[in-house]
Structures are given as structure tokens and as C-alpha cells.
Structure 1
């Protein structure tokens, strides 16, 4: 009898763990647009499910994991300035004992680039953490490849 209870307990926790890892409350979309013959803007949009949020790029140390964009170097373009974001929501979070900056529903980040040739593909990754009022999921990383024509 003890053996059956042990097996059922292991199956239950394995199943719950598998479902927790499948939870993905953020989807990403990408778009590149030329604004002149030598400049373009890359748009990186996060759509966030209800009751969840992702954090700004501008989180102070000691807080949650901030959103980080890493662009793969290329001979076809160079970054022009830093990745920008709209004004985030600011709220005190007891867990971190500090004000944190975050986004709900959706957010569009923008990165200007200087083109060294007419068309290119901007590649990179975004690292982010998503939380709700009950839990935070482990930090996640998504790669992107954005054509700019």
C-alpha cells in the first residue's frame, strides 16, 4: 500500500511539474521597417496574458530579472542607441522591497539601426521574466530573426 501511495505521489508531482513548465503567458512578434535609405527600426512586441507582467529593461539590482535584448553583431548594420521602451507601470513589490517597473497586456520595444547595405536580417535574443500576483516563472530566453528590406 505504501508503495502505491509513493508511486501515485511521484506521478502527481511529475505531472504538475510538467504542466508548470508548459505555461507560457508571453508571445513575441517582430517587425523591421526602413525609415530612410540608411536607417531602420526593429519592433519587438510582447503580448502578455491577463494577470501577468514582464519587467522593464531598467530594473535596479536586487529586484526581479530585467528584460535584456542582445543583438548578434553584423557587418550589414550597427545599433543606433539603446533599445527603447514605452513608459512602464511602477509599483512597490513587497517581495523585492522596492518599486519595480513592468508592463501588462502588451509592450513594443524599439531598436534603431544604421544600415550598411539595403536589406539585412537582425538576429538576437530577448531574456525576460514573467510574473503574476502569485508566482514568477523562471527567466526565459527567446531568439529572433527580423528581416529588414
Structure 2
């Protein structure tokens, strides 16, 4: 009986692994100090061929736009909003509107003001939605912690 239970458990784990969420975007991070009191955080999306993610400026009623939430900290403060390059813009029938999006890769940049020389990392999360010409995946959230270095 115990062997049967182990076999069933192993099968369930195998099926669960195959049912994992489809992902077509990989995120990477870096930070660059621009002075003793300022830095720029770089958040890069590398997007599989044929897929895209949306700009931060998509209007309401469209797809889920890429957005960033930075954790409050006594070590740093956020200056303005994340910047992005000019997106590709096209009319998407499914949303009945023009939308801005990025293919292949995109780097978002966020300026920060350092309140402490001991500031160690910028933390937060990002939300995005990935689509191709035939389907969209559910929106996804990714937490990040970006070391500031010395």
C-alpha cells in the first residue's frame, strides 16, 4: 500500500511540474551609482521571439501594462517614475485600441536618491502581461531585490 501511495504521489508531482505556468520573459537587474547620493536601477526584460510585453503607458481598457512598485525604505527614495524607451505602437483588435509594447528586450530605468551610504538594495515587485499574435498569458508578478554595490 505504501508503494502505491508513493507511486501516486510521484505521478502527481510529475503532472504538476508539466502544468507549470508558461513563461516567455526573463528579468535581470543592475544598479549603477551616478554619485555619492544618487543611483539608477536598471530592470531588463528579455522576451522570447514572437512575444511582447506592454508599455507602462497603456490606457485603461487595454492589456495589463508593465508596472513597478518599489518597497518603502529608509535607505533610499524613488525619484520620479521609471523611464522606458519608445515602444512599438499598433492597433490590437482584441483590445480595440492602439497599444505600446516591446519585443526582444527592453530596459526600464528608475532613478533613486540614496539616504544612507549603507544603502544595500532596492526592493519591490513588477507586474506585466505577455502576449503573442494569438494569445495572452495571465498577468504575472515578480519580486526583485537589486543590490546597490559600493
TM-score normalised over the length of structure 1: 0.86
- In 1, the alpha carbon distance for the partners of 2:75 and 2:144 equals 17
| SS of equivalent residue, structure 1 residue 43 | strand
CA shift at 1:22, angstroms? 3.0
Specify the alignment match of 1:78 in structure 2: 77
- In 2, the alpha carbon distance for the partners of 1:29 and 1:127 equals 14
Residues 95-139 of structure 1 show CA distances to partners (whole Å, capped at 9, x for unaligned) of 111000000000000000000112321000000000000100000
Q: How does 1:21-40 map to 2 (within 5 A)?
A: 21-40=20-39
| SS of equivalent residue, structure 2 residue 143 | strand
CA shift at 1:24, angstroms? 0.6
Residues 68-104 of structure 1 show CA distances to partners (whole Å, capped at 9, x for unaligned) of 1000000000001111000000000011110000000
- In 1, the alpha carbon distance for the partners of 2:18 and 2:110 equals 34
TM-score normalised over the length of structure 2: 0.85
The unaligned stretches of length 5 or more in structure 1 are 1-14
Give the direction of change, closer, same or farther, for the CA distance of 1:19–1:94 in structure 2 (3 Å limit).
farther
- In 1, the alpha carbon distance for the partners of 2:15 and 2:57 equals 33
Specify the alignment match of 1:87 in structure 2: 86
Query: What is the RMSD of the two structures over their aligned residues, measured on CA atoms?
Result: 1.7
Runs of 4+ in structure 1 deviating by more than 2 angstroms, as ranges, are 15-22
- In 1, the alpha carbon distance for the partners of 2:133 and 2:16 equals 19
Check the 8 A contact 1:122/1:146 in 2, yes or no.
yes
